[in-house]
Amino acid sequence: MRSLWLASLLNIILCPSLINGWEPFPELGLKGAAIATVIGRGSGVLYQCYHLFRGSKGTINLRKEHFVIDFPLMKSHIKIAWPATFQFIIASGSWIVLTQLVAVTGGTHASSGYQIAIQNVVFFILPAWGLSNAAATLVGQNLGAKQPDRAEKSVMLTTKYNAIFISGVMLLFILFAKPIIGIFTQVSEDFVFGAQALQIIGTGYIFYGIGIVMIQALNRAVDTRTPTWINFFGFWLFQIPLAYLLVKVFNMGVVGAVVAIPVAETALAIAAFVYFRKGKWKEVKV
């Protein structure tokens, strides 16, 4: 948390300073934004490394003897981690395709409005990510303590709180999309596309919160392959084809690409929830 504070604060200060050339910084334009990001995030990583290597004062201490190649352990890590890695590749790949589809179909203004809407979605989803990480931690802890039922109870309780929070955000997006987008742009074309995208995406926002908790819980239960398959079918075999179908066949334009997002996210969340409730993840062995 502190490293993120440091990274974000430096980025917030350096970004406008380097872009606009405020004294004593040179005017670098968009290049300044990239430099500010590198400095901010790099400082956050250095802060983390300092605490990892600083000795007995740290919570977790790394020493030379810890950097020993342990092939059986590495093999175990890779076996668990590679499906989780593909989860992010699959999801990111799908978002890239949708971004390209919006840009090609709607042009510069549609792309700009869409990106503003997505950034708001990402920002407001962060508390839900925090709750899902807490649920994942409780799953790992309780499974380690041979308490699978308590692990399931923790996840369902977290899902309930996440759904309550996300429901409020969903109403915010649907009812106040125009004032929110208006904070970020005064260009009328960008504003129209952005507000419309935020309202459409907001209709399925509650399912994002539920899906996040389910996927994180399954990952922490070391059942990383199931969420990977859910993502693969949900994003690549459903969301992308649906977006192209709505855009190209039904001639819905940019709206079709955006509609595919809440529809796919809803289906993904339902699939993850149904699988989680079956309880097969409790039987996975490391």
Tell me the pLDDT tens digit for each residue of 44-77.
999 998 888 875 666 677 878 888 888 998 888 8
Query: What per-residue confidence (pLDDT) applies to 108?
Result: 92
Query: What per-residue confidence (pLDDT) applies to 21?
Result: 82
pLDDT, tens digit, for every residue of 82-133? 888 899 899 999 999 999 999 999 999 999 999 999 999 988 888 888 889 9
Query: What per-residue confidence (pLDDT) applies to 286?
Result: 61
User: With b meaning 16 or more CB within 10 Å and e meaning fewer, what string describes 52-86?
Assistant: eeeeeeeeeeeeeeeeeeeeeeeeeeeebeebbeb
pLDDT, tens digit, for every residue of 157-216? 999 999 999 999 999 999 999 999 999 888 888 999 999 999 999 998 889 889 999 999
What is the pTM assigned to this prediction?
Answer: 0.81
Share above pLDDT 70 across residues of the chain, in percent, rounded to a whole number:
98
Phi, psi of 189 (to 5 degrees): -65, -45
Query: What per-residue confidence (pLDDT) applies to 56?
Result: 60
Q: Are 33 and 19 in contact (CB under 8 A)?
A: yes
Q: Return the domain boundaries, the chain.
A: 2-53, 71-283
Task: Provide the sign of the torsion angle of the four alpha carbons 45, 50, 55, 59, taken in this order.
Answer: negative
Q: Are 155 and 276 in contact (CB under 8 A)?
A: yes
Q: Are 171 and 187 in contact (CB under 8 A)?
A: no
Question: Does residue 155 surpass a pLDDT of 80?
Answer: yes
Residue with tokens 């309550």: 164
Q: Are 210 and 196 in contact (CB under 8 A)?
A: no
Query: What per-residue confidence (pLDDT) applies to 222?
Result: 85
Looking at this protein, which amino acid is placed at residue 207? Answer: F
Query: What per-residue confidence (pLDDT) applies to 42?
Result: 96
Q: Are 131 and 163 in contact (CB under 8 A)?
A: no
3-state secondary structure 224-284: CHHHHHHHHHHHHHHHHHHHHHHHHHCCCCHHHHHHHHHHHHHHHHHHHHHHHHHCHHHHC
State both tokens at 148.
């699978």
